[in-house]
Structure 1
Amino acid sequence: RARCERFLANTKLQPKQRVRELSKGMVVQLHLALVMAIDAKVLVLDEPTLGLDIMYRKEFYQRLLEDYFDEQKTIIITTHQVEEIEHILTDVLFIRDGRIVLSTDMETLAERYTELLASAETLDAARALGPIDERALPFGKTVLLYDGVDRSRIAALGETRNPGLADLFVATMKGTYA
Structure 2
Amino acid sequence: MSDTSAGIVSAAARLMEAMADEREAPLLGPMLVDEILMRLLLSRVGGRVAQLGQADSSVERVARAIEWVRTHYGEPLSVEALAELVHMGTSTFHLHFKAITDLSRVQYQKLLRLQEARRLLASTAMDAGAASRQVGYVSASQFTREDARLFGRTPLKDLTRLRQPGAVS
* Shorter-chain TM band: under 0.3
TM-score relative to the length of structure 2: 0.25
- Structure number with the higher helix fraction is 2
TM-score relative to the length of structure 1: 0.24
- Structure number with the higher strand fraction is 1
Q: Which has the larger radius of gyration?
A: 1
